[in-house]
Amino acid sequence: MLSFLSIRNLLSLFLVIVLSGCVSSSIDPSRFEKTPSFTIINDKPTRLDDYFSREVASHSLIDETGFYPLDRGHDALLARLAIIETAQASIDVQYYIFRDDEAGNLLAWRLFEAAERGVRVRLLLDDMQKYDDNDLVRFSSHPNIEVRMFNPHHLRSARGIAMLSDFERLNHRMHNKSLTVDGVVSIIGGRNVGNEYYSIESNVEFSDLDLLMVGKSVRQVNRQFDLYWNSDYSVPVEWLTSKRLQYTDADVEVWVNELGLEEKFSGGTYDFSKLPLYSDLINGTIELYWGVGNLLYDLPNKPDSKQSTLIDSLGAVLEEGKSSLVLISPYFVPTESGTKELIQAVKDGREVIIITNSLASNDVFAVHGWYAKYRKQLVEGGVQLWEVKSNAEIKKNWSLTGSSRSSLHTKAVVIDKKKLFVGSMNWDPRSAHLNTEMGVVIEQHEYAQKVYREILREIPTTAYEIQVVDDDVVWFDHTTGDTLTSEPDASFWRRMGAWFSGVLPIEEQL
**Catalytic position from the list 74, 153, 154, 177:** 177
Q: In sequence order, what DSSP letters do the residues of 74-111 get, joined into one string?
A: HHHHHHHHHHHHH-SSEEEEEES-B-SSHHHHHHHHHH
Nearest CA to 25 out of 304, 239, 301, 238 is that of 239
Give the C-alpha separation, 481 to 16, whole Å: 59
Please identify which of the residues 409, 418, 419, 428 carries the catalytic annotation. Answer: 409
Q: Which of 389, 411, 418, 419 is catalytic?
A: 411
Q: Is 130 a catalytic residue?
A: no
Nearest residue to 90 via CA among 218, 199, 207: 218
CB under 8 A, 24+ apart: contacts of 287-290: 287/55, 288/52, 288/55, 288/66, 288/67, 288/68, 288/214, 289/66, 289/67, 289/68, 289/69, 289/442, 289/444, 289/446, 289/447, 290/55, 290/59, 290/64, 290/65, 290/66, 290/67, 290/215, 290/444
Active site residue 312: no
CB 397, CB 75: distance < 8 Å? yes
Q: Is-catalytic flag, 304?
A: no
Q: If the chain, 510 residues long, is cut into consecutive pieces of 10 residues, what is the mean pLDDT of each piece?
A: 41 38 44 85 92 87 91 89 95 97 93 97 94 92 96 89 90 96 97 90 80 96 98 94 84 90 81 82 88 96 86 93 96 96 97 96 92 97 96 52 67 97 96 96 97 94 96 97 96 92 90
* CA 232 – CA 26 distance, rounded (Å): 13
pLDDT confidence of residue 304: 82
Q: Exactly one of 175, 302, 368, 419 is catalytic; name it.
A: 175
Strands of 39-184 (E only): list them: 64-70, 90-95, 120-126, 145-150, 178-181
Give the helix ranges, DSSP H, for 248-296. 249-259, 261-265, 276-282
175 as an active site residue: the answer is yes
Q: Where in the chain is the domain with CATH 3.30.870.10?
A: 59-282, 295-509
445 is catalytic: no
Q: Tell me, what amino acid is at 72?
A: R
pTM exceeding 0.75:
yes
How far is C-alpha 67 from the chain's CA centre? 18
CATH class of the region 295-509: alpha beta
Catalytic hit among 126, 133, 166, 182? 182
396 is catalytic: no
- CATH 3.30.870.10 for domain 59-282: yes
pLDDT at 245: 82
Helix axes 102-116, 249-259, angle to 10 degrees: 140
92, 127, 298, 416: the catalytic one is: 416
Q: What span, in angstroms and rounded, lies between the C-alpha atoms of 434 and 421?
A: 20
